[in-house]
Amino acid sequence: MNQDLKHCLITGGAGFIGSHLAQYLLNEGNHVQIIDDLSTGSMKNILPFKDNPGFSYTIDSCQNKNLMAELVDRCDEIYHLAAAVGVKLIVEDPARTIHLNYTLTEIVLEMAAKKGKPVLFTSTSEVYGKSEEVPYQEDGDLLLGSSIRWRWAYACSKLLDEFMLLAAYKTRSVPVVIVRLFNTVGPCQTGRYGMVIPNFVSRALQHLPVQVYGDGKQTRCFCHVKNVVPVLPELIRNPLAYGQIFNVGSDREISILELARLVKKQLNSRSEIQFVPYEEAYNKGFEDMKRRIPCLNKIKSILNFNPDLLLEKIISDVAEDILSSKNS
Ligand code: UDP
């Protein structure tokens, strides 16, 4: 077997990003094993490659330690994506989020340390909180809101994970890489947990009102998942990345109102744009980020990163995916 080809374990491999990563790694000729409890992931996401001879899947929780020990033993590298995700879900059940995100990472690190396997962890741009010092740099300060506002439970749980990974690198020499993902979007992302692009596209296709929360002046940078996944194996296989944090995403900024207009125009939709106060969309006292832009200098210093798939391509891919799932 080609030395560059690996046995890859993906926790949360039936999720949106996990399944795109699995498909990419398989296309490159690697073996891929996923573990997913299907709490937010879906069998539908792995259908396109379920019968690939290089692919195996286990539907179970990473909290099953015996199973995890076996899976880690058999792999060369671990992509740890399993987590409670999405701000909406977190606001609804913060205790579960904190517990799960802590426990899953603790188990993965314990197994990785025993077997000396590298771990790539997907963190989130949420950890920058409401800092207005954009573009965000990996070593910049983080500005989280008060703990009485549930939104911050998510960032806090992912930050705790980051600390656990860095500590495992420092004290137990586990090769770890942390990636902070910025609004990764594309086909197979569900709108169930409030994510804006699947929601806008799905509503625009049905000519239902597209709901812009707040005044719509808040901005985000959206990156196609197909631009994100190739970076992950490159990082986990590069010892210069160990013990490091990298922003990964696009740095092209757009306001949510402009996004709503673009989706409508591109899909020839008759949807109205409806403004919904944050308190109605989430809950009382909800705080949103005004701008969220990554500084990409660090990732570009270590590999060739060029997120070239534009928002128009993201919108058309998401629309095509929604239409084809309806027809299947
Ligand atoms: N948003 C919106 N309408 C929706 C869903 C989200 O206006 O139907 C807004 C949300 O309040 C935020 C932005 O779109 O300002 C991006 O939301 P998302 O949940 O996709 O990601 P976030 O960047 O908040 O993690």
| pTM, entire model | 0.96
Q: Is the pLDDT of residue 233 over 80?
A: yes
Residue found by looking up tokens 């573990």 in the block:
35
Q: Is the pLDDT of residue 144 over 70?
A: yes
Quote the ligand 1 centre to 74 CA distance (angstroms): 39
Q: Is the pLDDT of residue 326 over 90?
A: no
Q: Is the pLDDT of residue 284 over 80?
A: no
154 catalytic per annotation = yes
Distance CA 19, CA 195 (A): 18
Quote the ligand 1 centre to 39 CA distance (angstroms): 21
Q: Is the pLDDT of residue 108 over 70?
A: yes
Could you tell me which CATH class the domain 7-185+223-251+291-308 is placed in?
alpha beta
Q: Is the pLDDT of residue 67 over 90?
A: yes
Distance CA 130, CA 144 (A): 6
Whether ligand 1 lies within 6 angstroms of the CB of 256 is answered as yes
**Residue percentage of the chain with pLDDT more than 70:** 98
Whether ligand 1 lies within 6 angstroms of the CB of 136 is answered as no
Q: Give me the mean pLDDT over the 274-295 stretch.
A: 89
Q: Give me the mean pLDDT over the 161-168 stretch.
A: 98
Whether ligand 1 lies within 6 angstroms of the CB of 211 is answered as yes
Q: Please state the separation of Cα 327 from the chain's center in Å.
A: 27
Size of the chain, expressed as the number of residues it contains:
328
Give every CB contact of residue 297 below 8 A, 6+ residues apart in sequence: 137
Query: Model confidence over 173-231: pLDDT tens digits?
Result: 999 999 999 999 999 998 887 799 999 999 999 999 999 999 999 999 999 999 999 99
Quote the ligand 1 centre to 211 CA distance (angstroms): 10
Per-residue model confidence (pLDDT) at position 218? 97
